[in-house]
Amino acid sequence: MLSLIPLTGIPIVQPRDDLGELIAASLAPSGVAPLGDEDILVLTQKVVSRAENRFVDLRTVQPSPRALELAARTSKDARAVEVMLWDTDEVVRVGPRVIVVRHRLGFTCANAGVDASNVAEPGAEMVLRLPDDPDLSARRIRARLRELTGAAPAVVISDSHGRPWREGTVGVAIGVAGMLPVQDLRGVPDLFGRALQITLVGFADQVAAAASLVSGQANEGLPVVLVRGLPFQPDDTASARQIVRPPEYDLFR
Amino acid sequence: MLSLIPLTGIPIVQPRDDLGELIAASLAPSGVAPLGDEDILVLTQKVVSRAENRFVDLRTVQPSPRALELAARTSKDARAVEVMLWDTDEVVRVGPRVIVVRHRLGFTCANAGVDASNVAEPGAEMVLRLPDDPDLSARRIRARLRELTGAAPAVVISDSHGRPWREGTVGVAIGVAGMLPVQDLRGVPDLFGRALQITLVGFADQVAAAASLVSGQANEGLPVVLVRGLPFQPDDTASARQIVRPPEYDLFR
């Protein structure tokens, strides 16, 4: 049985909060202590970005001509678009209300992950950028948990992405530590002993999607979910960059 | 707490097997009886296609010129490509080893969902098509379970889809019964009372992705997963067609 358990009692995270410490303190009240190396912790990017103080006060931002042009086409705040461009390697598509970009982290996503939901009081004119290096964030949280609890679970940092062709956002992994994010089943036999053709499984993305069912998108205040009972392939050098499809295999650039 | 429990003891399903009966019989041995209206059952498309006898013997298929041309470009069996074209409204992209199509069911997916893995003994030259109407399949299984157990859980039929830009397949919903597949959070307040901008959540897709972590892709033989402890929005007229993004909002056609 696979269990997904939201950690309760985590306050609204503030810049420079120690996420490892907040998580360690919430394990017993959430009924999931002790933590084990075979557990997976999924944190929303938002809570990580908050702790890493990735806030930008839009009143300090001067939009570039490119930001002004994109803002006009998308009815967005030009200063927020300017922040998006800071993290953008390439603008992939522009829709009536969305700018799809290739983020400097490699992922293709809407609005470069810059978001004003669950960020600050209405009227505060604040947006939040993705963590600077989500893999590094995940590794740090894992190391801190090992210090505090003795256990080093896998850590996934999740974001909610839209997708071509399908309605609705789904959780995906943008940072990982301790766990291979993509499983290679090449050559594994099927039920009839035939070697599998579909070989790569988006394991970390499925973990993020599952956790997103529990953490919610609105005002649930459950930014960390413990996944227990799911075997994974440990890997101390894993990176969410492994999820980014190499350009030469990408049919949709 | 959200639990995902694979139903054990379901045999390799054969054409005309009664899936509702197989599921009902496996509930007690799997430790999940009684079934409730608030449960969700996720079935792989493969087990549904098997029960509905969606096998095609390639020795009976005569490839069209279009199939021969696409097969040459993709190193695929031209007869399998012909079967893919039966279910294809439009070829979207052709890669070295994949044909991405808009399926007549509305979804954009690789190879029209036609697959030879977990289908038959090596050498049998059989492929399996998607269910003819996965929503109808889901509704029938739900109705049969209500007859047999008194409870009518939500039912999701899942498939594994690749995605642009990201490595690895993930479970998605191609048929649903009893549950809204896309949740609309428009106007729901965030933690700070600000109305959400990102409004649609791919709920059924996330359920399918979560279940796929448990059912596996290879020889696990766990085609049905019970999801328990996850609130959903009941809807007796729901359809996976609601997941298909309308063409006018699709930036990647």
| Block residue for tokens 């739900």 | B142
Domain containing B72 equals 55-128
Answer whether A214 sits within 8 Å of B2, measured CB to CB: yes
Same domain? For B74 and B40 the reply is: no
Q: Is residue B253 part of a domain?
A: no
In chain A, what percentage of residues exceed pLDDT 90? 81
Answer whether B168 sits within 8 Å of A217, measured CB to CB: no
Q: Is residue B106 part of a domain?
A: yes
Where a domain ends, among A128, A153, A184? A128
Say which CATH number the domain at B140 has: 3.30.1330.100
Of A125, A87, A122, residue with least CA distance to A106: A87
Same domain? For B47 and B150 the reply is: yes
Of B113, B183, B176, residue with least CA distance to B141: B176
CA–CA separation, A40 and A20 (whole Å): 14
The encoded tokens of residue A74 equal: 């998308």
Nearest-CA residue of chain A relative to B194?
A122
In chain A, what percentage of residues exceed pLDDT 70? 94
Into how many domains does chain A fold?
2
Provide φ and ψ at A51, rounded to 5°.
-60, -30
Read off the pLDDT of residues A85-94 as tens digits, 9 standing for 90 and up: 999 999 999 9
Element (H, E) at B157: strand B154-161
CA–CA separation, B169 and B209 (whole Å): 9
Q: Is residue A114 part of a domain?
A: yes
Same domain? For B40 and B137 the reply is: yes
Q: Is residue B241 part of a domain?
A: yes
Q: B72 CB near a chain A CB, below 8 Å? A: no
Q: A158 CB near a chain B CB, below 8 Å? A: no
- Residue B195 or A150, more confident: A150
Q: B151 CB near a chain A CB, below 8 Å? A: no
Read off the pLDDT of residues A30-41 as tens digits, 9 standing for 90 and up: 999 999 999 999
Same domain? For A138 and A214 the reply is: yes
Q: A59 CB near a chain B CB, below 8 Å? A: no
Q: Is residue A253 part of a domain?
A: no
CA–CA separation, A55 and A53 (whole Å): 5
Contact B101, B108 (CB under 8 A): yes
Distance, in angstroms, between B143 CA and closest chain A CA?
26
pLDDT at A24 > cutoff 80: yes
Contact A222, A13 (CB under 8 A): no
Q: What is the DSSP letter of A59?
A: G
Contact A127, A78 (CB under 8 A): no
| Block residue for tokens 């049905």 | B224
Taking a contact as any Cβ pair under 8 Å apart, which residues of chain B between 89 and 148 contact chain A? Answer: 93, 95, 98, 100, 107-108, 115-122
Q: Is residue A47 part of a domain?
A: yes
Same domain? For B78 and B157 the reply is: no
pLDDT of residue B247: 82
CA–CA separation, B69 and B60 (whole Å): 19
Same domain? For B119 and B156 the reply is: no
Answer whether A217 sits within 8 Å of B3, measured CB to CB: no
Give the residue-averaged pLDDT of A72-93.
96
ipTM higher than the 0.90 cut:
yes
Answer whether A244 sits within 8 Å of B164, measured CB to CB: no
Please give the interface size between A and B, counted as residue pairs whose CB atoms are below 8 Å apart: 232
pLDDT at B237 > cutoff 90: yes
Q: B149 CB near a chain A CB, below 8 Å? A: no
Same domain? For A160 and A62 the reply is: no
Q: Is residue B151 part of a domain?
A: yes
**Contact residues on chain B for A250, CB-CB shorter than 8 A:** 164-165
**Contact residues on chain A for B117, CB-CB shorter than 8 A:** 190, 194, 196-198
Confidence of residue A123 (pLDDT cuts 50, 70, 90): confident
Q: Is residue B26 part of a domain?
A: yes
Same domain? For B59 and B44 the reply is: no
Q: B160 CB near a chain A CB, below 8 Å? A: yes
Interface mutation target, options A74, A89, A190, chain B, most CBs of B under 10 Å = A190
CA–CA separation, A92 and A111 (whole Å): 11
Least confident of A39-53, A185-199, B43-57, B82-96: A185-199
pLDDT of residue B172: 98
Same domain? For B9 and B66 the reply is: no
* N- to C-terminal Cα separation, chain A: 39
Q: Which of A3, A117, A230 is the closest to B197 by Cβ? A: A117
Read off the pLDDT of residues A176-217 as tens digits, 9 standing for 90 and up: 999 999 998 877 776 666 666 668 999 999 999 999 999 966
Same domain? For A154 and A234 the reply is: yes
Q: A233 CB near a chain B CB, below 8 Å? A: no
Same domain? For A155 and A113 the reply is: no
Least confident of A98-102, A245-249, B88-92: A245-249
Read off the pLDDT of residues A134-166 as tens digits, 9 standing for 90 and up: 999 999 999 999 999 999 999 999 999 999 999
Residue A28 carries which side chain, given as an amino acid letter?
A: A
**Contact residues on chain A for B181, CB-CB shorter than 8 A:** 168
CA–CA separation, B113 and B94 (whole Å): 15
Same domain? For B194 and B242 the reply is: yes
Where a domain ends, among B71, B94, B128? B128
pLDDT at A219 > cutoff 90: no
Q: B167 CB near a chain A CB, below 8 Å? A: yes
Give the residue-averaged pLDDT of B160-168.
95
Q: Which of B191, B194, B209 is the closest to A209 by Cβ? A: B209
pLDDT at B14 > cutoff 90: yes
CA–CA separation, A59 and A75 (whole Å): 18
Contact B22, B11 (CB under 8 A): yes
Of A213, A121, A134, residue with least CA distance to A181: A134
Residue A163 carries which side chain, given as an amino acid letter?
A: R
pLDDT at A117 > cutoff 90: no
Say which CATH number the domain at A72 has: 3.90.1660.10
Residue A210 carries which side chain, given as an amino acid letter?
A: A
Q: What is the mean pLDDT of chain A?
A: 93
Contact B130, B60 (CB under 8 A): no
Where a domain ends, among B93, B128, B163? B128
Taking a contact as any Cβ pair under 8 Å apart, which residues of chain B between 13 and 52 contact chain A? Answer: none
CA–CA separation, A10 and A26 (whole Å): 7
Give the residue-averaged pLDDT of A17-44.
97
Answer whether B4 sits within 8 Å of A5, measured CB to CB: no
The encoded tokens of residue B134 equal: 């996965």
Answer whether A160 sits within 8 Å of B207, measured CB to CB: no
